Amino acid sequence: MPTPQPVVFRMLELAEVSEEDVVYDLGSGDGRIVIAAAKEFGARGVGIEIDPELVKRARRKAERAGVSDRVEFRQGDLFEADIGEATVVTLYLWPTMNDRLRPKLMEELSPGTRILSHDFGIGDWSPDTTVTLGTNTMQTAENRIFLWTISD
């Protein structure tokens, strides 16, 4: 299920994304987060998505949005992807996936890298900030955004 556009914007705003950033979206789906990071905040972006059809769709959307020169979409397993250049990482994955991803995030990301997750935390890792927005797309709960920053 895609992240609603208002949540996408708030995630990027919360991370203080700028033209200095490289935003990685792990499980990027249709590419909306990476495209918004480039179009609205001037960042470069990389989407990692296992579904080749979603990668094709994201590439078409980036072209239509006029940001294909600043974003790329890679088809592959997010656990195998090299994410070391990211300064911001976004997630909308099930809690079990987030938990499995934590060691990779801690190992590959540099101090100061911001990690944002829509709706789901990362195990017992306490976020630096939690923001609650209006009702989510399933109309069952509010949207939550969790923010962590990799420390020294």
pLDDT, tens only, 97-124: 999 999 999 999 999 999 999 999 999 9
In contact, 35 and 59? CB cutoff 8 Å: no
Measure the CA–CA gap between 25 and 54, rounded to whole angstroms: 13
- The pTM for the full model equals 0.94
Measure the CA–CA gap between 136 and 67, rounded to whole angstroms: 28
Amino acid 2: pLDDT: 85
Measure the CA–CA gap between 128 and 14, rounded to whole angstroms: 11
Q: Tell the burial category of 49 from Cβ atoms under 10 Å away from its Cβ (0-12, 13-18, 19+).
A: buried
Amino acid 129: pLDDT: 97
Count up the domains in the chain and report the number: 1
In contact, 132 and 142? CB cutoff 8 Å: yes
Measure the CA–CA gap between 100 and 89, rounded to whole angstroms: 15
**CATH code at 71?**
3.40.50.150
Measure the CA–CA gap between 6 and 18, rounded to whole angstroms: 18
pLDDT, tens digit, 9 for 90 and up, residues 26-53: 999 999 999 999 999 999 999 999 999 9
Range of the domain at 88: 5-149
pLDDT, tens digit, 9 for 90 and up, residues 52-91: 999 999 999 999 999 999 999 999 999 999 999 999 999 9
Q: Which residue has the higher pLDDT, 138 or 2?
A: 2
In contact, 150 and 105? CB cutoff 8 Å: yes
Residue type, 44: R
